[in-house]
Amino acid sequence: MPLQRPDRPLNLAEIEDRLNKGDKDTFNADFAAEVKKALGGDANAIANVKACFQPTDKELASLGIKGNFETIRACTDVGGLIVVACKRAAPGIFAP
């Protein structure tokens, strides 16, 4: 089943909230699986993850990231920012 993208990109807190709810009709496991494929280099999965996620300035600052957030947001490996949340919320997807 293809990943259902949200109507707008979600910030980190919103993604964690959706993953933690575990609703069957949300993108919980599908999104975690897409992140796993993106980490493996799948170009389509990378595009899907980027389309679903836009960290806020406050989230970037809380991670110790400094500078022009618009520029940083455009070049940041977004998968790296959300993989921990996905591993916590859907650990079975990331099991070896």
pLDDT for 60 equals 79
pLDDT at site 87 = 73
With 0.75 as the threshold, say if the pTM is over it.
no
Parse the chain into domains and list their residue ranges: 12-91
The DSSP secondary structure of 56-68, one letter per residue, reads: -HHHHHHTT--S-
37 contacts 84 by C-beta, under 8 angstroms: no
- The CA–CA distances, whole Å, from 57 to 31, 36, 77 equal 23, 25, 15
Question: What pLDDT, on a 0 to 100 scale, did the predictor assign at position 26?
Answer: 55
Across the strands, what pairs with 53?
10
Q: Two tokens at 29?
A: 């496991």
Per-residue pLDDT at 75: 62
pLDDT at 3: 77
Q: For position 17, what pLDDT does the model report?
A: 80
Q: What is the pLDDT of residue 65?
A: 76
Low-confidence residues of the chain, pLDDT below 50?
A: none
